[in-house]
Structure 1
Amino acid sequence: MNIGIVGLGLIGGCLGLDLRAQGYKVFGVSRRESTCQQAIALGVADQASVDLAILAATEVIFLCTPLAAILPTVEQLIPYLSPNTVLTDVGSVKAPVVEAIAPLWSNFVGGHPMAGKTDSGIEAAQLNLFALKPYVLTPIATTPAAAVEVVEKIARSLQATIYHCRPEEHDRAVSWISHLPVMVSAALIAACMSETNPDVLVLAQQLASSGFRDTSRVGGGNPELGMMMARYNRQELLRSLQHYQHHLEVLIDLVEQENWIALKQQLESNHLVRSYFIDE
């Protein structure tokens, strides 16, 4: 099977490495000729070009561009596609993407492999990034079952764990466990930088260790990704931020009132339920 990848950054690069390892022939497209040459040199793609026409012979195409570029990319792709070509994306927001693309291309399957790294770019690509990680598919009523089966088969070859849900359900769920943490983490960094005593600020920076590293990681990541999450999942992110604000205010009140018993009970409850989200 010939598979196309548009967007040869971290996710596109990792997909290319894994798909070629599974025996698929991979055709890559990037905006930069230098990235295309790099993709071939790194083994990410068999062939790569800045011209979308290279994808005319592919049967499945993964759209690994930023969220804002998915729709214009599909519009530019359509003249080169056969009616049976399956399109899928890897965006972290699904409802607006599916709403925009499904009317243009019936064989479109919304997708979101939930894996990543702190590093970005094709240079950070590695094998098996998606192994044992969630891979969400968001077909709608008009999505052909055959198209879903094709994408699911490929995702399973990556050893990913497949989940199906509606696009709206996906966006609400990821607002809690992905998009909200980015904003909370970003606010933590900004709050720490608001320390007005320069000596204390320097000391805090010198003392920062694993706790700060873990809680600040996503907030200090790719700014464009964070902005796109907020822009395209705005309503769900606002909803989760407002709930978070409420719970933060509850904690502030408990500390102000010196209600240590209630605070301990809340922290004990958090300790117990964290395992529902993270299995360590």
Structure 2
Amino acid sequence: MNIGIVGLGLIGGSLGLDLRSRGYQVLGVSRQEHTCQRAIARGAVDDASVNLTLLAAADVVFICTPLSAIEATVIQLIPHLAATTILTDVGSVKTSVVDSITPRWSNFVGGHPMAGTAENGIEAAQSDLFAGKPYVLTPTASTPPVAIETLELLVRSLGAHLYHCRPEDHDRAVAWISHLPVMVSSSLIAACMSETDPTTLELAEALASSGFKDTSRVGGGNPELGLMMARYNRSALLRSLAAYRDQLDQIVAAVEQENWDGLVDQLKQTQQGRSRFVK
């Protein structure tokens, strides 16, 4: 099976490393010739080009571009594909992608690997990035079974945990556990930076350790990715932000009113609740 990858960054490059190691022929496309050459040198692809015509021989194509470029990429790609070619994407929002691509290409399966790092680009690509991580597929009632089965085979070969759900269910779920944390983490960093006393700020910077590192990591990631989460999952993100703001207001009220019993009850609930999300 020939695998095509459009976008040779962290996710695309990591997919290439893993799929090549499983014996697949991998063809990559990037906007920059330098990236193509680095992807070849790193062993992420067998061949790479800035021209989408390279993917005419692909049986499956992963679109690993930013969310804002997926639809335009597919439109440019379609003239070069065989009718049987299966398309999938790796975007963190699914409803808008599935709604825009499915009418253009029936062999499309929305996808989202729940894996990544704070780094980006082909140099950040790594083997086994997806092993043990969730990988969501969002087929619709009209998705051809062979397309679903082929993607399931590839996802399982990565060692990922496969999940199926509706695009809209995916978007509401990731708003809670992926998109909201980015905004919360970003706000935490911004709040710390708003300290006006230089001595306090300098001391805070010096004392920041594992707790701050853990809670600020996703807020210090790729700004473009955070923007795409907000732009393409706007309603679900606003819903989760409103709920989070309500929880913060409850904490503020408890501290202002010195309601220590109420505060400890809330902290006990979150202590117990965390295990539901972090296995």
Q: Specify if TM > 0.5.
A: yes
Structure 1 residues not aligned, in runs of 5+: none
Question: Does residue 160 of structure 2 align to residue 160 of structure 1?
Answer: yes
Q: Give me the whole-angstrom Cα distance separating, in 1, the residues matched to 2:42 and 2:141.
A: 39
Which residue of structure 2 lines up, in the alignment, with residue 60 of structure 1? 60
Q: Partners in 2 of 1:78 and 1:158 — Cα distance?
A: 26
| C-alpha RMSD of matched pairs (Å) | 0.5
Q: List per-residue Cα deviations over 1:206-242 (Å, max 9, x = no partner).
A: 1111111000000011000000100000000000000
AA aligned to 2:136 is V
Query: What's 1:236 paired with?
Result: 236
Residue-pair matches, total: 279
* Identity fraction in percent: 67
- Match of residue 178 from structure 1: 178
Query: What CA distance in whole angstroms lies between the structure 2 residues aligned with 1:196 and 1:40?
Result: 49
Aligned partner of 1:207: which letter? Answer: L
Equivalent residue, structure 2, for 1:193: 193
Give TM-score, length-normalised by structure 1: 0.99
Amino acid at match of 1:258: E
Q: In structure 2, what is the Cα distance between the partners aligned to 1:131 and 1:189?
A: 30
Structure 1 letter corresponding to 2:239: R
Are 1:137 and 2:137 an aligned pair?
Answer: yes
**Residue 150 of structure 1: aligned partner:** 150
- The CA deviation string for residues 175-194 of structure 1, in whole angstroms up to 9 with x for no partner, is 00000000000000000111
Q: The residue matched to 2:27 in structure 1 has which SS?
A: strand
| CA deviation string 1:79-134 (max 9, x = no partner) | 01111000000000000000000000000000000000122111011110000100
Verify: 1:227 aligned to 2:227, yes or no: yes
Q: Secondary structure at the match of 2:77?
A: helix
Within 5 A, what are the aligned runs for 1:3-82?
Answer: 3-82=3-82
Partner of 1:98: 98
2:230 is the alignment partner of 1:245:
no
Corresponding residue SS for 1:118: coil
Displacement after TM superposition at 1:66 (Å) = 0.3
Q: Please list the CA deviations of residues 136-165 of structure 1 after superposition, one character each: whole Å capped at 9, or x if unmatched.
A: 000011111110110110000001000000
Deviation, 1:167, is 0.2
Structure 2 match to 1:261: 261
State how far apart, in whole Å, the 1-side matches of 2:197 and 2:41 are.
50
- SS across alignment from 1:110: strand
Task: Name the residue aligned to 1:114.
Answer: 114
Verify the 8 A CA contact 2:131 2:159 in the aligned structure 1: yes
Amino acid at match of 2:61: I
Which stretches of structure 1, 4 residues or longer, exceed 4 Å deviation after superposition?
none
Give the TM-score, by structure 2 length: 0.99
Letter in 2 for 1:176: W
Distance 2:226 2:132 in 1: 24
Question: Helix, strand or coil for the counterpart of 1:119?
Answer: coil
Q: Does the CA contact (< 8 Å) of 2:102 and 2:108 recur in 1?
A: yes
Aligned to 1:214: 214
Secondary structure in 2 matching 1:143: coil
Q: Distance in 2 between matches of 1:218 and 1:132?
A: 20
For residue 17 of structure 1, report the CA deviation from its aligned partner: 0.3
Distance in 2, matches of 1:146 and 1:20, equals 22
Which stretches in structure 2 are left out of the alignment for 5+ residues? none
Distance in 1, Cα, partners of 2:257 & 2:49: 63
